[in-house]
Amino acid sequence: MQCLPEPLEAHYGGGIIRNSDFSGGLEGWSSFGYGAIAEGSSAAGNRYGVAVNRTRPYQSVSQKVYLQNDTHYTLSAWLQVSDGSADVIAVVKTNGEFIHAGGVDARSGCWTILKGGLTAAAAGPAELYFESNATVDVWVDNVSLQPFSQEEWSAHHDASIKKSRKKTVRFHAKDSSGNPVPGAQVRIDHVRNGFPLGSAMSGEILSNPAYQRWFTSRFTVTTFENEMKWYSTERVQGREDYSVPDAMMAFAKTHGISVRGHNVFWDDPNSQPAWAKWLSGDQLKRATAKRIRSVMSRYAGQVIAWDVVNENVHFSFYENKLGSEASAAFYRKSHEMDNVANMFMNDYNTLEQPGDYNAIPNKYLGKLWQIKKFPGNGNAARMAIGLEGHFTVPNMPYIRAALDTMSKANVPIWLTEIDVRKGPNQAQHLEMILREVYAHPAVHGIILWTAWHPQGCYVMCLTDNNFRNLPTGDVVDKLIQEWKTHSHAGVADDEGFYEAELFHGDYNVTVTHPVANSTVTQSLISVHRDYSPDNIFTIHV
């Protein structure tokens, strides 16, 4: 995260915030929570607001605003604290509700940006303030709260999808002598989606043909829900059993479905093999070394990714037992065992809960930097970010802001476990989330956490027990169709060129000579995020 000697200018000129840069002193600002506020200034003459002598988390600099109905608001603010570091959460009080709108780990001596947002469910007055459990002074500057209508928000999706998920591709029809073929008929048929969209898979798929047909007709990538986890493969110490994940891997391969390895370890103390919880440090060190060798030697080269230490932002079972760099050491060893797959951190609430101090974006990134700085874990270690995405009511502006922040790491980001709690708007919320994350250029793949079980799914199912779509399943099917190029035909120009805008994916291209009436089909032309527009596919017909 940036930590600057002076803050940058407020986004959108501050939006609806008055005196956003405090150039007018404290005009427009007030104290919140019976606190005291003061004006501060730097040696360079920059002016800012300060919440001083704080004894309660909510004592803050604040501003009253008026929110419009059904409007998205992006929020940003530059923050600093008087001593050390402290978690600061932006809160909007409206209609008696306190909405967490973003958070950051602020520090003394430099300014850090908080990015977030919220959606106003109803028009009315509101008050923005900044909350911190630490009793340090909180400095605030260059605040922005910018409204966007639903139409403007959707227009951004469309523009971002066009830029990030599509390519303009040129084909050149030539005859056997290498001469252009004007008027050649060109047909492009979609074969496979290029953007990885998948679902978690349960072991029930091995014996259920209906589940198999439903799954393989939709998804190109999967994560085994529980079957590869340590507590599943070694229920009794020393007695390993990979028969179920082996069979699931074989099934996935047969149907061309990529697999994410989930997981090598899980830092939650309640998610260990029962016998591992009571091992001494030395015993656990030997057991973890055996686990890495066992699972990774078995599936290296067969998976596209590993969740190496699951949820190590929230939990620290291995750090408590083996030392503060336990996770970092696991990542180094994992990369040594498989230097092709991406090595993911995987955790929850970075997108779902702006008020979770443990999971705010720069806390997550801090853990990522710690792991990458460990000897052997530089850029070559293929680190990646996994954001689970277990949502109740999604905050769309916050999701976008958090992804913007996480993208600064310049590593692949996946949504790894998306689901939405049951409620009257479950399907609508799922569609909103999927559209938001698909449109973000930093997102490289999506996994829905919807492994089917006859007794019910973890949180969200896509079908009933007869594999008829539920409303959530209809949403997924609709978007799968929307996010691919449907077959179409055209005619090459006078120089034999034909141009088409295509979603990332694999295609068959059929070209027919207008005079000789000869036809050639070129299979599996691949269009992907690294495709260069200067690359022209030449087809001889």
What residues are labeled active site? 311, 417
Query: Rounded to 5 degrees, what angle do the CA atoms 55, 58, 59 make?
Result: 55
Burial class (CB in 10 A: 0-12, 13-18, 19+), 244: middle
DSSP symbol at 44: T
The CA distance from 362 to 273, in Å, is 31
* Backbone dihedral angles phi then psi of residue 204, each to the nearest 5 degrees: -60, -20
Instruction: List 300's β-bridge partners, or say none.
Output: none
How many CA atoms lie less than 13 Å away from 451 in the CB half-sphere? 18
The CA distance from 449 to 426, in Å, is 14
Six token digits for residue 63: 């501003």
Residues 6+ apart with CB under 8 A from 530: none
The CA distance from 22 to 39, in Å, is 8
How many CA atoms lie less than 13 Å away from 41 in the CB half-sphere? 10
The CA distance from 300 to 337, in Å, is 7
Helix (H, G, I), strand (E, B) or coil at 113: strand
What count of other Cβ atoms lies within 10 Å of the Cβ of residue 463? 19
